[in-house]
Amino acid sequence: MINDENLPLVSIVTPTYNQARYLEETIQSVLQQDYPNIEYIVLNDGSTDETEEILKKYDGQIIWESHENIGQTPTINKGWRLSQGQIIAYINSDDTYIVPDAIRKGVEFLLANPDVAVVYGDAYEIDESGKIVKYHSAPDCDFTALVKNWIRTLNWQIVQPSTFIRREILDEVGYLDPSIYYAMDLEYWLRIGTKNFKIAHLAEPLSCYRLHSESKTVSTHAKNAPDFVNIYNKIFERSDLPKEFRDLRRQAKSGAYLRTAKAYHAALDYEQSRHYMLKGFSIYPPNISWIWLKRLLVTYFKQGSPQHLG
C-alpha cells in the first residue's frame, strides 16, 4: 500500500452522449474510489436526454460542462487537455469501475514500476441490465506481442476502462485520433506500442464494460468499417516504424481489409464485404481460412448494398 502523502493526481474523463440511463452508475463508481487524489471530469457531448439534470446533482463533486455535439473522440481529447493529472484515463458513461480500489491499484503499479508507461487490468463484460456476461482476462505480454497478436487474430485484448497511462504519453505520442470513429483506443494503443513504450498487465479485474443493442446495429457496423484500413495507414505506413513491424506490413494490411470486410458483412453490405475480403486475400493469402471462405460464399448468395443505414 502506498502512502497517501504526495500522491500523484489521477484525472479520469467521462464523455457522455444520451446515456442518462447508465451515467449515474458510472459517476458513482468513480466517486466511490478509495484513492484520495482524483480529478473527475464529465463532458456532456450535446445530450438531449436527462444527462444535464444528473450532472447538476454532482456539482462540487465532479468537474462537468456541456457543449454542442462534437463526437466521442474530440470530447475525450478536450477532457484530457483540461485535466491536470500525472496519470490519466477515460471511462465511458456506460462502463464502471468494479472495485473501489481500481484507481489505487493502477497508481500503485505505476509507482512501483517507473519504466512502465501504460498499465492495463482485466474486466467483466456486462449486458444492458448490468448482468455479467463473461470475464475478460487480458494477456500478460508486452506491446510488441500485443501488436503481433492483433495482426494475427484481428482481436485487440486491452480493455480500455481498465487502463491507466502516464501523462508523458500525451506529450510524446499525442492525443486520440478524431478521424477514427469507433476504434480510436485501438489506434492509440498501436501508436504507443509501435513507439516502443513499455506496457504491463495487472492481472485483476478493475472495470466492467457494457455491450448493448446500440453497439450492434447495422448502422454502427457500417460507421465502424472504415476505421481499420484507416488505422493500418496511420500506424504501419509511418516512415519511423520499427523494422520488426515493417516486416509485418503485408499481413497487417490484409488483416485490416479482412476486419473491414467483417464489419461490412455485419452491416449487411455484402458487396463491400466481398470487395474487402478479396483484397485481403490477395495481399496475404495465408489469411485465407474456411471461416473466411464461408463468409465470402455468403456474399455471392445474399444481395445487399444498403443505401440507407441511418
Q: What is the pLDDT of residues 160-170, one digit of tens each?
A: 999 999 999 99
Does 10-215 carry CATH code 3.40.640.10?
Answer: no
Q: What is the pLDDT of residues 38-74, one digit of tens each?
A: 999 999 999 999 999 999 999 999 999 999 999 999 9
Nearest-angstrom CA–CA distance, 103 and 294: 44
Nearest-angstrom CA–CA distance, 195 and 7: 28
pTM: predicted TM-score of the whole model, two decimal places: 0.87
236 CA to centre of own chain = 19
Residue-level pLDDT at 308: 39
Q: What is the pLDDT of residues 194-211, one digit of tens each?
A: 888 888 999 999 999 998
Q: Give the domain ranges of the chain.
A: 10-215, 217-301
What mean pLDDT is reported for the chain?
89
Contact 30, 40 (CB under 8 A): yes
